[in-house]
Amino acid sequence: MNIDNAKSQMRKGMLEYCVMLLLRKEAYYTSDIISRLKEAELIVVEGTLYPLLTRLKKDGFLCYEWRESTQGPPRKYYALTDEGKEFLQQLDEVWNGMERSVSVIRDL
């Protein structure tokens, strides 16, 4: 396995969590989500993000609303549902546990 493949697999595993973290405070349009992820140096393309958003919506973790845009047609803004907020809280616990475990192993 090369490092690019390993990095891709690690990134894929974190993407759902990172998207939900972004949406925990406010609703975002898809290109805004991509921009925010890029700011954090987590590069994602629309072809990766759309299926993830669709799956999270189908699972009941996201909802969306259409908002008028000054730059064209209305845009779909995604937000966490109450169920999504609960799931994110569980993901936070998992992430914190994994972070502790990696730190312990790293310090051995």
Provide the pLDDT for residue 13: 79
Task: Indicate the pTM of the whole model.
Answer: 0.88
Q: 3-state SS of the chain?
A: CCHHHHHHHHHHHHHHHHHHHHCCCCCEEHHHHHHHHHHCCCCCCHHHHHHHHHHHHHCCCEEEEEEEECCEEEEEEEEECHHHHHHHHHHHHHHHHHHHHHHHHHHC
**Containing domain of residue 95, as a range?**
3-107
Q: Say which CATH number the domain at 55 has.
A: 1.10.10.10
pLDDT in single tens digits along all 108 residues of the chain: 688 888 878 888 799 999 999 999 999 999 999 999 999 988 888 888 999 999 999 999 999 999 998 888 999 999 999 999 999 999 999 999 999 999 999 999
Provide the pLDDT for residue 5: 85
Provide the pLDDT for residue 71: 86
Number of compact structural domains in the chain: 1
